[in-house]
Amino acid sequence: MKRAAKPIPGEEYLSRRGGVAQWQIGFTIDGRRVRESSGTDDKAAAAALATKRHKEVWDEIKLGIKPKIEMTLADAFAQFWAEKASKTTFGMTGQRYHMKVLLEALGRGTLLSALDDRAINAGVQAMQSRKATRGRPEALSGATVNRYLATLRLVCKRARDVWKAEVGDWSAGEHKQDEAKHREVFLTHDQARLLVEHAVPHLRPILMLAFATGMRKANVVRLRWESVSLDMARALVIQKGERRLAVDLPDMAVRLLAALQPDPAERRGPIFWFGNPAAGCDCTRCTNRAFFGQPIQDVKRSFQSAATAAGLKEMDAGRLRFHDLRHTHASWLLAATGDLLLTSKRLGHANVATTQRYAHLLPGRMERAIEGAVSGLLGPNEERKKA
């Protein structure tokens, strides 16, 4: 007589619908009905999952223990993108690329609960050993790796605090990489004019606005008319950390923007786009019908071409980058005012300590200011003796 197969624990919660290969999980506890797919056609695997789900629901109903919420890295990034990153300029540029690199280094299917110091260390090693691509050096700098890890930390924090998902215990401080000292490249007014002159026409107003405001590249290039008031001479931008910053526009910037769209009724959408007749550009992008009317997303290639043509690509302190236009604006502002606090507010720094990096541009200003402040203490006779 043939022996009956030994039942598999959990198979009593399984069933199959006609024409569906995957096993369905179904059970009821104290009136709570659970019906869901196991996601597999393997009966043993489905039974094991059904047993696990039955215990989770039983613990929640009988003991008040809520089941653990597991999320893969890919799902967490997708949710973070939908809720946070896609709504900010930095999220759409920096964080989006950070998440792409992190998925490659850590694995799309990696569970957040599996992230520990060992896994993060392996991910850092993978990022540092990525193959070189066009325009990117072979070895990632310590600062770049730190930025990627900062994005991962933000996602993990939101997963733990908001989504109540299980997140592994790892320390960001343990994996912080050494960073090179800040390098600042500053242009003189003559060099700035030279750079603008050698840029393609659609890039020139972007460069001029960056020099005039000190805004970051993404805030300048992707500026929209809805964020600008020419009457108030002000632009509203979203900075890192989703901080809002109202940027005062000098008169030349107001005139520059007004010239790009003379009709106030048409001032909506992206300010900078390919083929704008007001820019008068005849580059390959602006004359290509496929790109006509498309918003300008990045200017890395055209910026480097302008820097090369102007003889400014390689400066004493390093290669010229678009971000150096922000440093340049700060240097001009400090030269004109000698005021670090004012410069800090202009650049939108959350802490004036960040602006201290420019303090070396103020040689002798502190001494002259102190002399002027205390000179009134001396009477006329004392002043003559001092002289």
* pLDDT tens digits along 266-325: 999 999 999 999 999 999 999 999 999 999 999 999 999 999 999 999 988 788 999 999
Q: Work out the mean pLDDT of the chain and round it to a whole number.
A: 87
| Residue 130 C-beta-side C-alpha neighbours within 13 Å | 21
Domain spans of the chain, in order of start: 14-63, 73-175, 189-367
d(CA 312, CA 278): 27
Which two structure tokens, joined as six digits, stand for 283? 């580059």
pLDDT at 138: 53
d(CA 51, CA 13): 8
Of how many residues is the chain composed?
Answer: 387
Using the predicted structure, report yes or no on whether residue 95 has a pLDDT greater than 50.
Answer: yes
Find out whether 227 and 235 touch, Cβ atoms under 8 Å.
yes
Find out whether 56 and 70 touch, Cβ atoms under 8 Å.
no
d(CA 145, CA 126): 11
pLDDT at 1: 52
pLDDT in tens, 233-265: 999 998 876 788 899 999 999 999 999 999 999
d(CA 177, CA 150): 12
Band the pLDDT of 134: cuts 50, 70, 90: very low
pLDDT at 377: 73
Handedness of CA 167, 172, 174, 176 (dihedral sign): positive
Model pTM score: 0.62
pLDDT in tens, 8-45: 899 999 999 888 889 999 999 999 999 999 888 999 99
The predicted model gives 117-136 an average pLDDT of 78
Which two structure tokens, joined as six digits, stand for 296? 């300008």
Beta bridge partners of 224: 270
Find out whether 156 and 106 touch, Cβ atoms under 8 Å.
no
Which has more pLDDT, 368 or 56?
A: 56
189-367: CATH architecture: Orthogonal Bundle (1.10)
Amino acid in the structure at residue 232: M
Query: Which range among 177-181, 283-287, 315-319, 339-343 shows the weakest confidence by mean pLDDT?
Result: 177-181
* Residue 4 CB neighbour total at 10 angstroms: 6
pLDDT at 4: 61
Band the pLDDT of 335: cuts 50, 70, 90: confident
Which residue, chain included where needed, has tokens 């809002």? 244
d(CA 93, CA 101): 13
* Residue 248 CB neighbour total at 10 angstroms: 11
* Residue 369 CB neighbour total at 10 angstroms: 12
pLDDT at 38: 87
DSSP 8-class letter at 351: S
